Amino acid sequence: MNLPVIDSGNPSSPATSVDHRRHLLDLSDEDLKQWLIDHGQPGFRAKQIIHWVFQRRVSDFQEMSDLPKALRTQLAESFRVLVTTQSAVVQSTDGTDKVLVGLPDGGEVECVLLRDGSRRSICVSSQVGCAMGCVFCASGLDGVDRNLTTGEILEQMLLLQARLEDTERLSHIVMMGMGEPLANLDRVLGALNVARSSDGLGISPRRITISTVGLPPAIDRLANNGTPYNLAVSLHAPNDQLRNELVPVNQKIGIDQVLDAADRYFDKSGRRLTFEYVLLGGVNDSTDQGRQLAKLLRHRTVLLNVIPYNPVEGLPYVTPSKASIAEFRQVLEGGGVNVKFRQRKGDDIDAACGQLRRNRGATTDPTSVHAVSPPR
Catalytic residues: 110, 353
Decide: helix, strand or coil at residue 258.
helix
Residue 64 or 372 having the CB closest to ligand SAH: 372
Please report whether residue 110 would count as binding ligand SAH according to CB under 6 A. no
> Could you tell me where the beta strands, DSSP code E, fall in the chain?
5-8, 22-23, 79-80, 85-91, 97-102, 108-116, 119-123, 127-129, 144-147, 172-175, 208-212, 230-234, 273-279, 302-308, 339-341
Please report whether residue 180 would count as binding ligand SAH according to CB under 6 A. yes
Tell me how far apart the terminal alpha carbons of the chain are, to the nearest angstrom: 15
A 10 A CB-CB count for 278 gives 28
Smallest gap from residue 140 Cβ to ligand SAH (A): 8
Smallest gap from residue 320 Cβ to ligand SAH (A): 12
Contact present, 114 and 123 (Cβ < 8 Å) = yes
CB contact set of 296 (below 8 Å; sequence gap of 6+)? 238, 255, 259
The whole-angstrom separation of Cα 22 and Cα 18 is: 12
Residue 151 or 374 having the CB closest to ligand SAH: 374
Q: Which stretch binds ligand SAH (CB under 6 A): 54-62, 147-155, 209-217, 291-299?
A: 209-217
Q: Which stretch binds ligand SAH (CB under 6 A): 63-71, 133-141, 191-199, 222-230?
A: 133-141
In terms of Cβ atoms closer than 10 Å to its own Cβ (0-12, 13-18, 19+), residue 327 is middle
Please report whether residue 26 would count as binding ligand SAH according to CB under 6 A. no
Residue 27 or 352 having the CB closest to ligand SAH: 352
Please report whether residue 176 would count as binding ligand SAH according to CB under 6 A. yes
Q: Which of 212, 230, 292, 359 binds ligand SAH (CB under 6 A)?
A: 212
Stretch 275-294 residues interacting with ligand SAH (CB under 6 A): 276, 278
Decide: helix, strand or coil at residue 129.
strand
A 10 A CB-CB count for 358 gives 22
- Which of 358, 355, 359, 361 lies closest to 374 in space, CA to CA? 355
Binding mask 313-352 for ligand SAH (x = CB under 6 A): -------------------------------------xxx
Q: Which of 92, 147, 234, 269 binds ligand SAH (CB under 6 A)?
A: 234
Please report whether residue 312 would count as binding ligand SAH according to CB under 6 A. yes
In the complex, which residues of this chain contact ligand SAH (CB under 6 A)? Answer: 132, 134, 136-137, 176, 180, 211-213, 234, 276, 278, 307, 309-310, 312, 350-353, 375
